[in-house]
Amino acid sequence: MRFLLKILSLTIFFLTSSGISNSAEKVEYLKTDWSFKGIFGKFDRGSLQRGYQVYTEVCSSCHSMKYVSYRNLAEKGGPEFSVQQAKAIAASFEVTDGPNADGEMFQRPGKLSDKFVMPYENVKAAQAANGGAYPPDMSVLVKARGGGANYIYSLLQGYEDPPAGITLDDGVYYNKYMYGNKIKMANPLSDGLVEYADGTNATVEQMSKDITTFLMWTAEPHLEARHQMGFKAIIYLIILTILVYFSMKRIWSRVETEI
Amino acid sequence: MSDHDYTPKSKAGKWFNDRLPLLTLANHLTDYPTPKNLNYWWTFGGILTFCLITQIVTGLTLAMHYIAHADMAFESVEHIMRDVNYGWLIRYIHANGASMFFLAVYIHIFRSLFYGSYKSPREIIWIIGIIIYLLMMAAAFMGYVLPWGQMSFWGATVITNLFSAIPLVGEGIVTWLWGGYSVDNPTLTRFFTLHYLIPFLILGLVVLHIWALHVPGNNNPVGIDIKKPSKDTVPFHPYIVIKDGFALLMFMIVFAFFVFYTPNILGHADNYIEADPLVTPAHIVPEWYLLPFYAILRSVPDKLLGVVAMLSAILILAALPWLDTSKIRSAVFRPLYKQFYWILVADVLILGYVGAMPAEGLYLLIARIATAYYFIHFLIILPLLGYKEKTLPIPLSITEPVLGGTPNLAMAKNKESQKIK
């Protein structure tokens, strides 16, 4: 018992001490009701499809998504476009293929098996077009940032006029959630920027939520399968543990000792 | 090892066993007399075996899909996460498995510290354990480099650079380790090779660790020598097997929770950014299980002395059987040691905490005090305690306290046994 108390007090000490230091350094990120959080968390299909629309119409002019394929758009656990829709989406992009029999590179419409077409040939080209800053690849972006989904969601809504005393260079913007508050990406969203196919009102908040949900999916395409399997696995383990506990009691009852 | 003779019942069994005594070994392992008062802290040996096998099996599977090349490693990990069937599951088990492995090994080590399991006649078991622990750290560090993320790259740069602190040959050694003038493709391929090799070295040492254990037999919470086999012991199978199994299942529930619901919480977000030699992350932090030693390293202002302090912090453990002068094993009967034990636990946790913080101001001061205390505990407190401490009387056999005999009776009986000690 005393031992447990010691463990407990140590745990509390560390939880509180880390809490104190964290609150001193970081800004509080905006939060929203993410459907993918929690033990049964699933993606909101509508939000994923709208998020894809925001990505294609807004983000994809600068940000690549090199680990995601068009076929993924029709896969279970994702935006779940129909295969026909995904094919049509892929075909709307021009893909460089080749070399052909004549040794020439050629353009053809995209196929399901193609990766998302990149906005720039290479990193240097991307930097040259964006004032020296490389727009990061978005495939795993949510997992590559400390605050995860909340951070991306906040950043998109964090553009403000700089406080008095801060001067910004040309092509640098003030964002209250960005590390160091200076960001080279101009505010990408404004109300009504996208006309959603399903008629949802495209506010900045709504678009931020949709694109973040979409980016969460591209970072963790098997999140739904993981949650479902996890629930089954843990229930299975708990039942097995209970059974083993009783057989252990039974076996040890032959020995006069506590267990 | 062979406390009793064993002959297989069947003729074929006897024929085989005369030529290769595998059945004798199996019989020894099932009959192995184990103290019946072992508590749940003793189940972590079995849990660690499970962790090692899990890492080897998942690691083998990952190696079939992983590409050890600076230009392709990051992409191949994403390929595993996205396109390999259940690749995400295998990788998350492997990545979180490393943390679970260290969690279990720390409990295992601190159990040994509490119950004095490192003392005579178990010094060799302990020293083999320390070697396994060192190899685990090497394997974990190199494994963390393989995804070729930002933390992989910069962690490898920081840690390999430690060798440059060695006078005269330091720089040469670092170049030799890297296979070039910076961490690059040759570094990655050799780290992959070694990361694949080390688990099998650990496996071999685990066999020796268990073999060395089976000579004197298990220590126990009371810490006294017991007759084996006797009414104080139970055969390993089924008693310990089912108990270890029960504890393992509880452990697996925690493991599963991490794998399925917070698979990235123990990692660092920066490792999902592909390695870039031109961009240094704001804070370079090792994995949580290396943080106490990282804090010791940074608490010394001189680079060479810092490396020496960090290595000594681990190697000092190997000398523990001789630094601890007390003849009594279990902290249960050492009231003063028990206090210092918990202070040490707190000290190591504090070191781990400040290891994750920037090395400046108050954090640095705390790290320095905690580092000093760590060495004071092993080099001054432990040797002195053996002479100064008034220990409690220890029981004659484990049966009395276990069977609930009144403590006074047990103590009266044991006055004599203490004299014998």
Residues B209 and B328 in one domain: no
Tell if the CB–CB gap between B234 and A255 is shorter than 8 Å. yes
Task: Give the closest residue to B41 by CA, choosing from B208, B220, B214, B223.
Answer: B220
User: What letter represents residue B391's amino acid?
Assistant: T
Interface test with A, best of B39, B40, B244, B249 (most A CBs within 10 A): B249
d(CA B293, CA B287): 11
Find the CB nearest B257 among A221, A234, A252. Answer: A234
Confidence of residue B235 (pLDDT cuts 50, 70, 90): very high
d(CA A20, CA B76): 39
Q: Which of A223-237, B96-110, B318-332, B392-406 has the lowest mean pLDDT?
A: B392-406
**With left for phi above 0 and alpha for psi between -120 and 50, is residue A126 left, alpha or beta?**
alpha
Report pLDDT for B406: 43
Residues B8 and B120 in one domain: no
Distance from CA of B296 to the nearest CA of A (A): 19
Mean pLDDT of chain B: 93
Report pLDDT for B395: 86
Tell if the CB–CB gap between B260 and A233 is shorter than 8 Å. yes
Average pLDDT over residues B56-71: 98
Does pLDDT of B415 surpass 50? no
Peptide bond into B335 cis (omega under 30): no
Tell if the CB–CB gap between A18 and B243 is shorter than 8 Å. no
**Higher pLDDT residue, A182 or B2?**
A182
Which residues of A are less than 8 Å from B80 in CB distance? none
Distance from CA of A112 to the nearest CA of B (A): 14
Residues B186 and B310 in one domain: no
Report pLDDT for B282: 87
Tens digit of each residue's pLDDT (9 = 90 or more) over B156-200: 999 999 999 999 999 999 999 999 999 999 999 999 999 999 999
Tell if the CB–CB gap between B78 and A21 is shorter than 8 Å. no
Find the CB nearest B260 among A143, A229, A248. Answer: A229
Find the CB nearest B253 among A17, A146, A234. Answer: A234
Q: Three-state SS for A202? A: coil
Peptide bond into B121 cis (omega under 30): yes
| A residues 100..159 contacting B (CB < 8 A) | 136, 139-140, 143-146, 148
Residues B174 and B208 in one domain: yes
Give the highest mean pLDDT range of A21-30, B56-65, B382-391: B56-65
Full domain range(s) for residue B408: 391-421
Radius of gyration of chain B (CA): 24
Residues B85 and B13 in one domain: no
How many domains does chain B contain in total?
4
Total residues found in chain A within this entry: 259
Average pLDDT over residues B354-367: 94
Peptide bond into B238 cis (omega under 30): yes
Distance from CA of B240 to the nearest CA of A (A): 9
Q: What is the CATH number of the domain that holds B185?
A: 1.20.810.10
Tell if the CB–CB gap between B78 and A230 is shorter than 8 Å. no
Report pLDDT for B399: 72
String of DSSP letters for B313-371: HHHGGGGHHHH---S---GGG-HHHHHHHHHHHHHHHHHHHHHTS-SSHHHHHHHHHHH
String of DSSP letters for A21-83: HHHHHPPPPP----TT-STT----HHHHHHHHHHHHHTGGGT---TT-BGGGGGSTTTT---H
The verdict on A18 touching B (C-beta cutoff 8 Å) is yes
Tell if the CB–CB gap between B260 and A226 is shorter than 8 Å. yes
**Average pLDDT, 10 consecutive residues per value, chain A (259 residues):** 54 48 64 94 97 96 96 96 97 94 96 96 92 93 95 96 88 91 94 94 97 98 98 98 97 79
Q: For A234, what's the count of Cα atoms within 13 Å in the CB-facing half-sphere?
A: 17
Radius of gyration of chain A (CA): 25
Q: What is the CATH number of the domain that holds B314?
A: 1.10.287
Could you write out the three-class secondary structure of B94-136?
HHHHHHHHHHHHHHHHHHHHHHCCCCCCCHHHHHHHHHHHHHH
Report pLDDT for B283: 87
Residues B345 and B416 in one domain: no
Residues B413 and B311 in one domain: no
Report pLDDT for A12: 52
d(CA B128, CA B207): 10
Tell if the CB–CB gap between B78 and A139 is shorter than 8 Å. yes
Tell me which chain A residue has its CA closest to the CA of residue B77: A67
**Higher pLDDT residue, A258 or B145?**
B145
Confidence of residue B420 (pLDDT cuts 50, 70, 90): very low
Distance between alpha carbon B371 and the CA centroid of its chain, in Å?
Answer: 20
The verdict on B246 touching A (C-beta cutoff 8 Å) is yes
User: What letter represents residue B401's amino acid?
Assistant: P
* H helix or E strand, kind and range, residue A226: helix A223-252
Single pTM value for the model: 0.92
Average pLDDT over residues B200-220: 97
Distance from CA of B106 to the nearest CA of A (A): 14
Report pLDDT for B320: 97
Residues B320 and B181 in one domain: no
Tell if the CB–CB gap between B272 and A233 is shorter than 8 Å. no
What percent of chain B is predicted at pLDDT more than 90?
89
Residues B163 and B237 in one domain: yes
Residues B299 and B353 in one domain: yes
| A residues 27..66 contacting B (CB < 8 A) | 39
**Higher pLDDT residue, B334 or A6?**
B334
Please tell me whether the interface predicted TM-score (ipTM) of this complex is above 0.85: yes
d(CA B267, CA B253): 20
Distance from CA of B160 to the nearest CA of A (A): 25
User: What letter represents residue B344's amino acid?
Assistant: L
Could you write out the three-class secondary structure of B400-414?
HHHHCCCHHHHHHHH
Report pLDDT for A5: 54
Q: Which of A165-169, B115-119, B305-309 has the lowest mean pLDDT?
A: A165-169
Task: Give the closest residue to B301 by CA, choosing from B359, B353, B347, B362.
Answer: B359
The verdict on B242 touching A (C-beta cutoff 8 Å) is yes
Residues 6+ apart with CB under 8 A from B204: none
Residues B270 and B303 in one domain: no
Residues B78 and B170 in one domain: yes
